[in-house]
Amino acid sequence: MSKELLSTSIFKLFDAYRHNMRKAMKANELGICSMHVQCILYIKQHQACTANDIVKHLARDKAQIARLIKEMIEKTWLVKQINPNDKRSQQLLLTEKGHALADSIQQTQHQVHQQMQNQLNTEDLIEFQRIANLLTKNLQP
């Protein structure tokens, strides 16, 4: 398989996944993008996190994450609260609306994952995960 075919396969998979997630979530109506999804799920998993935690996790610049957080606060998906362990920083917490959105995202992911895994057995999934991790590792500095 040529490298062009590999990149084409990766782009097709990513695009199909993104399209199905957006369609199932009605993302255009919600005004949600993939970065919102990643941030919301990270905050849900790491309940008392800071913007800097998200910057490190997503490997994005501080300004981009600051804008994203501002948008999510305006949409009332999250709030900032003084960090009790370090008064110089603020924790990000999901609101009730943010928790409902996170639950919806997780439910949608589960549905799309089930659809994606159709006709694949456990060995296929393990092999895919192994190869995907290796490809990712090969691209890291």
* CATH code at position 98: 1.10.10.10
- Amino acid code (one letter) for 42: Y
Stated pTM of the model: 0.81
Number of structural domains in the chain: 1
Q: Which domain holds residue 94?
A: 3-139
What pLDDT is attached to residue 34?
Answer: 87
pLDDT tens over the chain, length 141 residues: 555 688 888 999 999 998 898 888 887 677 888 899 999 999 999 987 999 999 999 989 999 999 999 999 999 999 999 988 888 889 999 999 999 999 999 999 999 999 999 999 999 999 999 999 999 999 987
Neighbours of 50 (CB within 10 A): 17
Please tell me the predicted confidence (pLDDT) of residue 26. 80
Find the helix or strand (DSSP H, E) in which 53 lies.
Answer: helix 51-58
Q: Closest by alpha carbon to 53, among 18, 86, 97?
A: 86
Q: Which pLDDT score is estimated for 89?
A: 86
Tokens 């084409």 appear where? 8
- Please tell me the distance from the alpha carbon of residue 96 to that of residue 72, in angstroms, as a whole number: 13
Between the CA atoms of 59, 137, 47 and 106, what dihedral angle is there, to the nearest 10 degrees?
110
pLDDT of residue 99: 95
Q: How far is CA 98 from CA 47, 72, 73, in A?
A: 12, 9, 10
